[in-house]
Amino acid sequence: MKAMNRRKLFTVCATIAVASLAVTAIPAQAAEVGVSSSEIKLGMTLPMTGTASPGYNKIPGAVKAYFDYVNANGGINGRKLTLVVKDDQYVPTLAVAKTNELILKDKVMALLAPLGTANNKAVASVVNPGARGIPTLFVNTGFSGFADKKKYPTTFSLLPSYIMEAKIMAEYIKDNFAGKKLGLLYQDDDFGDDALAGFKQAGLNFDVKVAYASGSQGDKVSPAQWVTKLQAGGAEVVILFGVSSATAAALGTASVMKFAPQWILGSVGGDATTIKASGVPAGVLYNAVGASFAPATTDTADEYVKLFQEIYLKANPTETFDNNVMVGMNTAFLTAQALKAAGTNPTRKSLIAAIEKSGKNFASAALVPLNYSTTSHVGYNGYWFGKYSPTGDLKPAGGVYTVYTTDSGNGAVVKSTYKRPAMPAKGLPN
C-alpha cells in the first residue's frame, strides 16, 4: 500500500514537474493541435509556382475538392477537413520555412503529401516532425528511404518507391525492347539515385546516362545538352526519370532537334496534361510508354475515376481531370479514412496508430495494394504500363491493366494478383 502511495505520489509529482517544464516552453493546448470540435486542419507544402510547379500545383485543388465533398457529407465525425497549402517552389530551404509556418503558426494536426525528395529530407532533418510526433502522411515522393520507420517514425510513404518503379520498368524494357540501345535522363540527387539503384538491382545497363541538377531544366541551355548527349550516345529507347518540367523540357527540345527515340516516361514526370501545357505537341507523346498505379484517367468505367472526376469537375469546371488530380483525390480519400479510423477524438498519436493498424485495408483507387503495418510504412508497391494515345492519354496496353509488384530490396518483380475491393458507398469512409 505504501509502495502504491509512493508510486502515485511520484506520478503526480513527476507530472507536475513535466507539466512545469512544458509550460515553461509552450502554452498548454486544450486539445490536439489542429483538431477542434468542428475542424481538422492539415497542411501541405509543394511547388505552386516556379519551374517545377506545372502539374503538381493542381494537387491541392484535387485534395480540397474531395475534402469539400466529405465536408458536405457530414465531415469526419462531424468535423470538417481543412487544408492549408504553402508554396515551397520546390526549394528545400523554403519547404523548411513553410513547414515551420504550418506547424507553429497554422498549427496543423498533420502534414499531408508534402512533395519532393530533397524537400522532405530537408524538413525531416531541420524541422524534424518525427521527433515532434507530427504525422507526415502520404509523402508525395517515391524515395525509398521515407518508408524507414526508424528514421522517419511519423512518415508514411504512398507512392511506390523509385527503386520499385525502376525494377519494374527494367523488366518491361527487357520484355519489350531487348537489344535496343538505352538512354536515361535522371535527376542528379537522391530521387535519381533511387532509380539508379533500382535499375542496377534489375541488372539493366544503359548506353548513355545523363544526369541533370534539379532546377537546371529551367535554363535555356541544359535541355539541349541533355538531348545532344542522348542523341550522340545513339539511344533508341530513352527513359525520362525526372520531374514533369524536366520531362517536358526534354520532350519539347527533342522534338525541335528531331530526336525521336522510343520514350519511356517515369511516373513522376509522365503527366500528359503538364507536358502538353508546357508546349509539347501531343504527337510527341504518342506511343510513349508510361506507368501508373492508379487507373487511367480516361477509364470512366472505373468507379473511382467516375466519382473523382465528377467531384473534381464540379469544383473545378475549367480544369482537366488528369493523373495528378487522380492521385491527389486518392490521397485525400485515404486521409479521410485514416482520420476516421483514428477515433472520435483523433490525436496525432491515434492517427499514426490507425494507419499502422488499418491502413493496408483502406479502400483505394489504386490497382496495387497498400502495405502499412506496425512495422512497415510502405504504401503502394507496383505499377502497370501503358502507352500514350494520339491525344496524350495514358492507356493500358490492350485495354487490360497488367500490374507488377515488387519491393525496394532484392525481391523479384511479380505479376500482381491483387483484387481491388469495391469502393465504399458514395466514396466516403465507412
Partner 1 sequence: MKLSSTKVRFVGFVSAAALITGVLVSIPVAANAAPACDGKSPVQSCAGVTSDGAPYSMMVPANFNGTVALYSHGYRYNVDIPAGIPIVGGYKITNTPEPVPGGNMTVAGYLFSQGVAIIGSGFARQGWNLDSALATNVELIDTFKKQFPTTKKVVAWGSSLGGAITQALAETHPELVSAVAPMCMADTSVNAELTMAGDFLWGVKTLFDPTIKGGNYSAGAAGNGEAITDIVKVLTVMGQLQAGVSSGAWPTTSSATGKALAAGGVPSRSALLLLGLMAGLPTQSAHFDSLSGPAGALKLTFPLAVSPALAILENGTNAAILAILATQDVELQAGGAIFDNTKTDYSARIVNEKVIYNAALSGNTVINALLGALSAANPGAPRAVGNAAAIAKMNALQHNTGKINVPTILMVGVADPITPAGASQLVVDKYAEQYAAEKVAAFKAAKVNGFVPVRNKLLMLWNQTSGKGYTTFDSTTGSPITSTPAAQGTNHCNFTTSQLLMVAKTLVSAGQTGELPRGGALVTAVRKAGSLAIDPLFRAPLLKYYNEQS
* 45 makes contact with partner 1 (CB under 8 A): no
* 66 makes contact with partner 1 (CB under 8 A): no
* 15 makes contact with partner 1 (CB under 8 A): no
* 414 makes contact with partner 1 (CB under 8 A): no
Query: Least distance from C-beta 115 to partner 1, angstroms?
Result: 15
Q: At what angle do helices 190-201 and 162-176 cross, to 10 degrees?
A: 50
* 174 makes contact with partner 1 (CB under 8 A): no
β-strands 394-396, 403-405 pairing = unpaired
Query: Least distance from C-beta 118 to partner 1, angstroms?
Result: 5
Q: Which is nearer to partner 1, 125 or 300 (CB)?
A: 125
Instruction: Using alpha carbons, list the distances in angstroms from residue 98 to 109, 117, 137, 138, 264.
Output: 15, 16, 16, 18, 34
Select from 13-21, 249-257, 387-395, 418-426 the region that touches partner 1 (CB under 8 A): 13-21
* 24 makes contact with partner 1 (CB under 8 A): yes
CA gap 193, 230 in Å, rounded: 19
Select from 77-85, 93-101, 291-299, 355-363 the region that touches partner 1 (CB under 8 A): 93-101
CB atoms within 10 A of CB 257: 14
Angle in degrees, CA 221, 198, 352, rounded to 5: 105
The site string for partner 1 over 198-237 (x = CB under 8 A, - otherwise) reads: -------------xxxxxx-xxxxx---------------
Query: Least distance from C-beta 148 to partner 1, angstroms?
Result: 14
Do the Cβ atoms of 415 and 401 come closer than 8 Å? Answer: no
The site string for partner 1 over 95-134 (x = CB under 8 A, - otherwise) reads: --xx-xx--x------------xx--xx--xx-x--xx--
Cα 162 to its chain centre, rounded Å, is 11
Instruction: Please classify residue 5 by burial: count the beta carbons closer than 10 Å to its beta carbon, then call 0-12 exposed, 13-18 middle and 19+ buried.
Output: exposed
Q: Running DSSP on this structure, what letter comes out for residue 161?
A: P
Contact with partner 1 (CB under 8 A) among 51, 157, 244, 297: 51
**Strands annotated E in 207-296:** 208-212, 237-241, 262-265, 289-292
The site string for partner 1 over 128-167 (x = CB under 8 A, - otherwise) reads: x--xx-----------------------------------
CA gap 129, 214 in Å, rounded: 25
Do the Cβ atoms of 193 and 408 come closer than 8 Å? Answer: no
**Strands annotated E in 27-133:** 39-46, 80-87, 110-112
Q: Give SS3 for 373.
A: coil
Contact with partner 1 (CB under 8 A) among 8, 9, 361, 421: 9
Query: Least distance from C-beta 284 to partner 1, angstroms?
Result: 25
Contact with partner 1 (CB under 8 A) among 61, 92, 290, 429: 92
Instruction: Using alpha carbons, list the distances in angstroms from residue 120 to 27, 116, 152, 355, 370.
Output: 28, 6, 10, 20, 21
Query: Least distance from C-beta 161 to partner 1, angstroms?
Result: 16
Contact with partner 1 (CB under 8 A) among 39, 188, 207, 236: 188
Instruction: Catalog residues that contact partner 1 under the rule CB under 8 A.
Output: 6, 9-10, 13-14, 16-17, 20-27, 50-51, 89-94, 97-98, 100-101, 104, 117-118, 121-122, 125-126, 128, 131-132, 187-190, 192-193, 211-216, 218-222
